[in-house]
């Protein structure tokens, strides 16, 4: 499955000019500040907005092409749409809201590939089926809204800041369900957010949107590990890696994770070897050296090469991108450290970080 979007639209006082492509299954996150143009993209893909110029292609199926005079109405687009507010029908039970999604699918002639019982189980909403929306919490309403959208048998799921109205506790409740859906259904998702924790947990592809333009787009860690982009300048900057559990060392109370090029030790995890996990290595936790250290407590010591060094003037710091094979780590150090170590692009460097400093996020 692939998605290609190119749109230009003028609003009073501002213009949106956004273009990106995302290939394969998974979550493509549109990330940026409020007013950057993220929701405009969702509206254009869903057919709720007719931009001045636009082309939307979902796996070779053209939904909009203003140059060719193509514009499919929303009901023919095979998209599932979930807003910040759940927009459930108040007069229907949870079951009634879910069945509405199925009726939409039948009217559009879509083949049923996502079943009612499957969605109820994946979203954990069986205890809610007989209840009305007014008796549900915010997180419960959003799970039902997601279920209704999925039962319409969409080719792509569009989510416009679906967790923005929830407090931290409710967000923590619903994020595991979203992760489970991504894995189980293998349905492409276009996900709008300005919350970095949601990006770190869910995104596979990241599109940075700033002032109506795409600042950068690519695989999640390729973007997060760049010191010259907005995420690298945040207090919570760092690398996000998908790793496989290799084995456990019960005596040391450590678990070994690996990619093709990188081995990372973390505190003991209660998951089976072979399990895929997502970890975050904060830039502030990474220490750099010109050689292999000796006699220190740090568990993770890896040799790499400096990819790029970017000044972080507001923090009187420097962001150093370290390539370890195909993986990238980001380190925040002082400019003095860069000078003392003689760090230069393409130079050798050793990166170190404590096992307790690694965050297992999913």
Question: 27-31 and 205-210: which strand pairing?
Answer: parallel
**What secondary structure does DSSP assign to 166-230, as a single string?**
S-HHHHHHHHHHHHHHHHHH---EEEEES-HHHHHHH-SEEEEEETTEEEEEEEHHHHHT-TTSG
φ, ψ of residue 170 in degrees (nearest 5): -70, -35
pLDDT given at position 126: 94
Q: Which residues contact 12 (CB under 8 A, 6 or more apart)?
A: none
Place of tokens 């967790």: 163
pLDDT given at position 285: 97
The CATH class of the 238-360 domain is mainly beta
Domain residues of the chain, as ranges? 2-224, 238-360
Instruction: Please tell me the distance from the alpha carbon of residue 45 to that of residue 178, in angstroms, as a whole number.
Output: 21
pLDDT given at position 214: 97
Instruction: Please tell me the distance from the alpha carbon of residue 29 to that of residue 26, in angstroms, as a whole number.
Output: 10
pLDDT given at position 270: 95
pLDDT given at position 107: 83
Give, for all 362 residues of the chain, the pLDDT tens digit.
789 999 999 999 899 999 999 876 789 999 999 889 999 999 999 999 999 999 999 989 999 999 999 999 998 999 999 998 889 999 999 999 999 999 988 887 788 888 999 999 999 999 999 999 999 999 999 999 999 999 999 999 999 999 988 888 888 888 888 888 888 888 889 999 999 999 999 999 999 999 999 999 999 999 999 999 999 999 999 999 999 999 999 999 999 999 999 999 999 999 999 999 999 999 999 999 999 888 899 999 999 999 999 999 999 999 999 999 999 999 999 999 999 999 999 999 999 999 999 999 98
pLDDT given at position 23: 78
Per CATH, domain 2-224 is 3.30.530.20: no
Q: Where are the alpha helices (DSSP H) in 31-113?
A: 38-46, 94-108
pLDDT given at position 355: 97
């Amino acid at each position: 499955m692939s998605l290609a979007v190119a749109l230009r639209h003028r609003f009073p006082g501002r213009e949106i000019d956004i273009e990106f492509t995302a290939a394969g299954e998974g979550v493509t996150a549109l990330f940026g500040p409020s007013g950057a143009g993220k929701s405009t993209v969702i509206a254009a893909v869903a057919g709720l907005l007719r931009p001045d110029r636009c082309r939307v292609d979902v796996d070779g199926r053209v939904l909009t092409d203003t140059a060719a005079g193509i514009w499919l109405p929303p009901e023919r687009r095979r998209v599932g749409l979930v807003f910040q507010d759940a927009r459930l029908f108040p007069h229907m039970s949870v079951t009634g809201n879910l069945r509405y999604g199925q009726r939409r699918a039948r009217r559009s002639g879509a083949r049923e590939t996502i079943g009612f019982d499957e969605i109820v189980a994946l979203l954990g909403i069986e205890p809610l089926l007989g209840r009305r929306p007014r008796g549900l919490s915010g997180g419960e309403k959003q799970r039902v809204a997601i279920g209704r959208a999925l039962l319409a048998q969409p080719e792509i799921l569009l989510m416009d800041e679906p967790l923005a109205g929830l407090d931290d506790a409710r967000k923590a409740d619903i994020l595991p369900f979203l992760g489970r859906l991504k894995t189980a259904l293998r349905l492409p998702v276009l996900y709008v957010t300005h919350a970095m924790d949601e990006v770190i947990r869910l995104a596979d592809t990241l599109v940075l949107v700033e002032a109506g333009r795409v600042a950068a787009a690519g695989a999640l860690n390729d973007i997060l590990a760049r010191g010259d982009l907005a995420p690298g300048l945040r207090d919570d900057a760092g690398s996000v890696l998908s790793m496989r559990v290799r084995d456990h060392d019960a005596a040391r109370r450590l678990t070994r994770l690996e990619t093709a090029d990188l081995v990372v030790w973390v505190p003991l995890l209660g998951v089976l070897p072979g399990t895929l996990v997502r970890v975050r290595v904060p830039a502030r936790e990474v220490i750099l050296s010109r050689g292999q250290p000796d006699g220190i407590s740090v568990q993770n010591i890896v040799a790499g090469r400096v990819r790029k060094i970017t000044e972080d003037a507001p923090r009187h710091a420097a962001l150093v991108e370290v390539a370890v094979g195909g993986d990238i780590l980001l380190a925040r150090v002082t400019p003095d450290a860069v000078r003392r170590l003689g760090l230069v692009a393409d130079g050798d460097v050793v990166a170190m970080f404590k096992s307790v400093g690694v965050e297992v996020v999913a």
